[in-house]
Each structure stands twice: as C-alpha cells, then as structure tokens.
Amino acid sequence: MTFNKKAIDTFWISEMGMTLREYGDRDVGETFSNALTFVDKGMVPSEIMTKSVKRVDIDLYEGVGIIRDISKGNGPTLLFDCGIYAVCHDATLPVGIESGSFVMMRFYLLFDVGYFGSLRMNGKRLSDVIPEMWYDWKIKDILIEIEDEIGRKNFENLPVAYTSSKGAIYKRITGTNVDEDCGEDFNTSYVLVCEMLQHADR
C-alpha cells in the first residue's frame, strides 16, 4: 500500500486505552487504513440539506448529513454521511427521524475495531457498496487526557497542549504506551490527530 498522497483533511479521533491494549499502541508518523465509527451525542432533524462537518471541541464534531438505518442483516446499525462516512453499531434512530433523512448531529469519531468488515447493505458487503468508507490515515499528533494520579505523575513535566471546553487537560506525546500510561484499569483517553490521505470525491 502506498501512503504518499497529500492530506485531504485532518481529524481528531478518540481512542481508548482498552482498545489500544487489544489492538496495539500507536505512534506519531504511523500510517494505516481504517473505517470510521461514531458515537452519537445528539441528533435532530435538519432543514439544511448540505453535507458538512466541523470540529467544535477537542474530539467533538458537529455534522449535517444523511442518516441511514442499515440494521437489516447487521443488528442495530446506523450509517452517517456528512461528507465523510461513519457507522454506529448498537444504535437506532430517535423517534421522529426517518432513515434517509438529513440530520444535524454532534458526535465523536473512533476507528473501527473489526465490525465494519461484517456489515451488509442490500445483501452486499458495505465495503463493496461504499468502498470509499475505507480511508488511509497518517498520525500527526497524539494527545493524552490527564485524568488521574497516574497520568499526573507520568506526564507532570510535559506542558499542557490543550484544555477542552469542560476543563479536561491534554498533553502531547509521541506514542501511546498503554501498559505505562493507563495503570491497571487501562481507562486513559487519547486523541489521535490524523491526516486523512484518501477519500472519494463526492
């Protein structure tokens, strides 16, 4: 696979210590391919019918786009298209919102951890129906949320890189080390600042 493409855009993507413990640590400069999932933090019908996405806090996004219920054959699953594609498993549409309609939604982005490959749409693999859902990425920066005594001790000498609107403090690191960063519970939160190197022109 070739990763010499120019960056299309940059996204701040949530990553949990428990996930990295299972799938492996990440380092600045690393390149990889993956689809996106989302966590819905509030969805309402939209009168605006132009797709858009913007970051409103460290890893919180607001987007306008088409929401689709693709539960058939998948279990509860939603597909959101706001100019980028992301899926949400174990999710259903709120009352009053129909599949195929435009919505405004606040959401967090995460990388898929193996669910995307099993999804189907109209009897075909979702990756075949919408191949551009699989993006190439390059990690440009990694931020760790300083949440507990272990984090304060391990990263006390690093300057604060970002403070969220809710007062959460993040520091910049060159790579994750879940065994050392998180303590026994592996509950540390990271944000991977990633360049999107490929997506479909739509």
Q: Is residue 82 part of a domain?
A: yes
Measured between alpha carbons, how far is residue 155 from residues 66, 69, 149, 177, 180 in Å?
41, 43, 10, 12, 11
Measured between alpha carbons, how far is residue 146 from residues 21, 134, 171, 173 in Å?
18, 31, 7, 12
The answer to whether the predicted template modeling score (pTM) of the entire model surpasses 0.85 is yes
Q: Which of 65, 54, 66 is closest to 11 using CA atoms?
A: 54
46 and 19 belong to one structural domain? no
59 and 18 belong to one structural domain? no
Please report the DSSP string for 9-27 in residue order: EEEEEEEEHHHHHHH---B
Q: Is residue 60 part of a domain?
A: yes
Q: Is residue 48 part of a domain?
A: yes
Indicate whether 3 pLDDT > 80.
Answer: no
201 and 160 belong to one structural domain? yes
Q: Is residue 123 part of a domain?
A: no
179 and 163 belong to one structural domain? yes
Q: Residue 1: what pLDDT?
A: 46
202 and 145 belong to one structural domain? yes
Residue 49 belongs to domain spanning: 36-115
Q: Is residue 111 part of a domain?
A: yes
**Residue where a domain stops, chosen among 115, 149, 170:** 115
93 and 161 belong to one structural domain? no
Name the residue type at position 124.
K
40 and 106 belong to one structural domain? yes
75 and 106 belong to one structural domain? yes
pLDDT in tens, 76-120: 999 999 999 999 999 999 999 999 999 999 999 999 998 998 999
Rounded mean pLDDT, 152-161: 91
29 and 42 belong to one structural domain? no
Q: How many domains does the chain have?
A: 2
| Strand, helix or coil for residue 130 | coil
